[in-house]
Chains A and B, each alone.
Chain A
Amino acid sequence: MQTQLRQALNHLFTLSCGASVVLLVAALLLFLIPMLKKGAVAVLFRGTVEFRKMQAEQFDRGNEEALQKEIEQTAQSRQEIYAILDQFSRGIDTEKLTDEVKGLYRDYGDELRYKDTPKEQYTKLRSQAKIIRNHLLDAFESIDKTEINEYLDAVKVFEKGNSFSGTTVEKMFAVADGFQKTIQHVDLSRRGEYAEELSVVKEELYNLFGPRPEEKTPQLAMRRFGATRWDVAQKHLSFLLWQEKWVRSDDGQSMVSRKVRRDDPQYGSFSGTSLLPLFTLVEETLDISLKPRFTFYWQYFIDDSTPGHYFGGVGPEVLGTLMLTMLAMCFAVGPGVLSAAYLVEYAGDNLIVKIIRICINTLAGVPSIVYGLFGMAFFVTYVTRHPGILSAAMTLALLVLPVIIRASEEAIRAVPQTYREAAMGLGAGKFRSFITVTLPAAGPGILTGIILSLGRAAGETAPILFAGAAALAPIPDFGGKWWLQETRALSYGCYDITVGDKLAMMVPHKQFGMVMTLVMLVLCLNIVAIFVRSRMSKKLRGA
């Protein structure tokens, strides 16, 4: 009975140990896999021709000729889409038409003056043109189709007169023609509504294809390109095709919100208009217009981002994090190991030493934001007098110091006394025996502390929040006082994208990419440290 119970307890113990390990691994995977998957999108994705355009323009990458060819190929299918759009908007966007006609009228005046037309002929032609203009403007303003047709017919009378052939006024006739054609299928009373919807369509087309070839290049780099990624393109396509609408529910009672296609004949905003074919055309030719191609954008890890976080990579963030972490380690490891050595080798067991130990243990548990505030209040105010890499690294060093002291203390204490005795027996003083014997033997343990703090220093945001991190800091100028410059950092970048940077929120892959980069960076640093540690302990074991 007794032995059975004991055996059962043994099994239970084994089982619970195994179960907790499995649980831990599962939890880790549950957290890591989705994050890495989302982050991987930053590097591995289907890049469109717009992406390649952006790479060529912003980073001088890719094959110029091939790209030009691609652009030409895509331009054709895009042109068809633009043609439909222009044709429709000519009838809807009367403000634009008004401007156009007014402009043409002015141009015609210039033309007449330029040709040195005789005075009376000038007055006659000019007044006729004015009548045409006014008719057109009246037509644009009217919502009554018959009235519009009357105005347009009046314009046509002048066209037949032939006195305007070969002049700018012919363009006015063309406008009138186009307008007449468009309004045939348009419910003019809904013109305002159309205009509003059309602006959405235009914006989404812009998001897909960028500025039109004849448009002038926008100032903002992010406005210069369409959808650079196929997934983003898909998103914009669905914005283009679908709209949120309040429609009567099937029982005819309440109004319900429903997603409807813009070209839905029943509910769609453009039902019955000449714009309808555009939607299916865009949908069907999207891959021809954008030419998505599988892209491995490894330069993500080294590229600067332009502008803001919109395009490019996280190079400056990686650099900043590396610099901050390494510098913090430089500051923390020396004092940490020395204090640990003091606590183990020199300090007795008196009250002061006990208090110091309690303080160190407490410091290890202080929230990191407290370090951040201290870093600002002390390092920035009194030491460097400027938030920058140095003050941030010092704050991080302070944060990891307790961890390093504790790990080193344990490691140094674990070195067998016989090692010290051997060294001392040979005449080594305390310092010599510590440096030559104790420290190497404690090396692996100290490295464990360093590994733990590496991850912490690289990942903490709060300590560097006020001490020297900035979302869009320039890359440090290594010719000057780079340690006084603010820097970007992966941890701070993740935070900033999540809470602050509206622009960057539009590129979620960037955010997850940053998280992934941070995790991978810490992983790499740890792998290096673990490798060094295993080499060290192997040597200590005599292999």
Chain B
Amino acid sequence: MELTPIRKRAALQPGKIRLNSPPSAAAEETPCTQKTIIGARDFTFYYGSKAGVENITMDIEVGSVTAIIGPSGCGKSTFLRSINRMNDLIPQTRTEGLLSVGGQDVYDKSTNLVNLRQQVGMVFQRPNPFAKSIYDNITYGPKLQGIRSKAKLNALVEKCLKDAALWDEVKDDLHKSALALSGGQQQRLCIARTLATKPRVVLMDEPCSALDPLATARIEDLIEELKGTYTIVIVTHNMQQAARVSKRTAFFCLGKLIEYGQTDKLFTNPQEKSTEDYITGRFG
């Protein structure tokens, strides 16, 4: 991997990004181009005085699926949650370096958090639908954006549920409580809910770890369908899953980015010793 750290923010401005443009072969060779949507430069996140992640420098390509793997406690979630500043809820944290989404510095004072989070949606480890109806769960985000029209909301609910491959299962009881759904359905609902704010990036933090294999397979199918339209960053403990769904994989260890590259290359021919140890299961 040859990642050129870019110190100046100007260099990060990707210009106008066409969300649906499929990444070309050429772009894969030079990741630091117009096709980048998330860029980190020496990004460090501190919990108090302890670093959650240290000196991360990586670029994530538009419309691709990127997997982050690594042992527990290595900072995968920390990094992921930094991207849409979910970590703001934790007191006494600070950052160093640069992290940008769509050319906008995430940790800049002028960043509009609402916009950021609507552009960068998040799906959590445990399905966490609101204790509201399926319909209200999905319209929560759009309503925050100021969409009030019933027709628009109805159309949006249908589209998002279809995108999340849930429509056929729930179309008859949209006004039933979301908590009455099964775990897998709930997680897909959470994905649908995230899609409803029309994000550019969807972050998924171990989205299948609380689900059974069948539900997991459906989520993976869903990710397959969503890529291209959305940029997806997925944290996973499941190596097979990473291999199946992602185009690129980043391996984190002890708060550092150890290796980042094409998924097939990383799994078949890891450059670093610790990566090899981890993917072959010799690592704790």
- B120-142 interface mask toward A, CB cutoff 8 Å, 1 = contact, 0 = none? 01101010111100000000110
Interface positions of B from 87 to 128, Cβ below 8 Å from A: 89, 91, 113-115, 117-118, 121-122, 124, 126, 128
Q: B279 an interface residue at 8 Å Cβ cutoff?
A: no
- Complex CA distance for A419 and B128, rounded to whole angstroms: 6
Other-chain contact of B178, A417, A432, A441, A542 (Cβ < 8 Å): A542
Residues of B within 8 A of A420 (CB): 89
Other-chain contact of B131, A348, A432, A540 (Cβ < 8 Å): A540
Other-chain contact of B140, A416, A436, A539, A542 (Cβ < 8 Å): A436
Question: By the criterion CB–CB under 8 Å, are B84 and A543 in contact?
Answer: no
- Complex CA distance for A399 and B130, rounded to whole angstroms: 34
Other-chain contact of B144, A421, A432, A441, A539 (Cβ < 8 Å): A432
Question: By the criterion CB–CB under 8 Å, are A425 and B126 in contact?
Answer: no
Question: By the criterion CB–CB under 8 Å, are A429 and B194 in contact?
Answer: no
Other-chain contact of B180, A418, A432, A543 (Cβ < 8 Å): A543
Other-chain contact of A418, B113, B124, B145 (Cβ < 8 Å): B124
Question: By the criterion CB–CB under 8 Å, are B190 and A422 in contact?
Answer: yes
Q: B177 an interface residue at 8 Å Cβ cutoff?
A: yes
Q: A422-B130, A427-B144 are in contact. Are A542 and B179 (CB under 8 A)?
A: yes
Q: A288 an interface residue at 8 Å Cβ cutoff?
A: no
Question: By the criterion CB–CB under 8 Å, are B177 and A542 in contact?
Answer: yes
Question: By the criterion CB–CB under 8 Å, are B144 and A426 in contact?
Answer: yes
Smallest Cβ-Cβ distance to A418: which chain B residue: B128
Q: A440 an interface residue at 8 Å Cβ cutoff?
A: yes
- Complex CA distance for A417 and B122, rounded to whole angstroms: 14
Q: B35 an interface residue at 8 Å Cβ cutoff?
A: no
Question: By the criterion CB–CB under 8 Å, are A441 and B131 in contact?
Answer: yes
- Complex CA distance for A187 and B225, rounded to whole angstroms: 120
- Complex CA distance for A543 and B193, rounded to whole angstroms: 21
Number of interface residues of B (CB under 8 A): 29
Interface positions of A from 399 to 442, Cβ below 8 Å from B: 416-429, 432, 436-437, 440-441
Smallest Cβ-Cβ distance to A440: which chain B residue: B131
Q: A69 an interface residue at 8 Å Cβ cutoff?
A: no
Q: A216 an interface residue at 8 Å Cβ cutoff?
A: no
Question: By the criterion CB–CB under 8 Å, are A426 and B117 in contact?
Answer: yes
Q: A418-B126, A422-B128 are in contact. Are A427 and B178 (CB under 8 A)?
A: no
B175 to chain A, nearest CB (A): 12
Other-chain contact of A427, B91, B126, B130, B141 (Cβ < 8 Å): B141
Q: A541 an interface residue at 8 Å Cβ cutoff?
A: yes
Smallest Cβ-Cβ distance to B176: which chain A residue: A542
A439 to chain B, nearest CB (A): 11
Question: By the criterion CB–CB under 8 Å, are B131 and A539 in contact?
Answer: yes
A134 to chain B, nearest CB (A): 101
Smallest Cβ-Cβ distance to A348: which chain B residue: B91
Could you list 8 A-B pairs, sorted by A, with CB under 8 Å?
A419-B128, A420-B89, A422-B190, A424-B89, A427-B144, A427-B197, A428-B114, A441-B131
Further 7 A-B residue pairs, CB within 8 A, beyond A418-B128, A437-B130: A417-B89, A422-B130, A422-B193, A424-B89, A432-B144, A542-B180, A543-B180
Chain A to chain B: the 5 pairs with minimum beta-carbon distance, closest first: A542-B179, A542-B177, A418-B128, A426-B141, A425-B122
Residues on A close to B: CB < 8 A?
348-349, 416-429, 432, 436-437, 440-441, 539-543
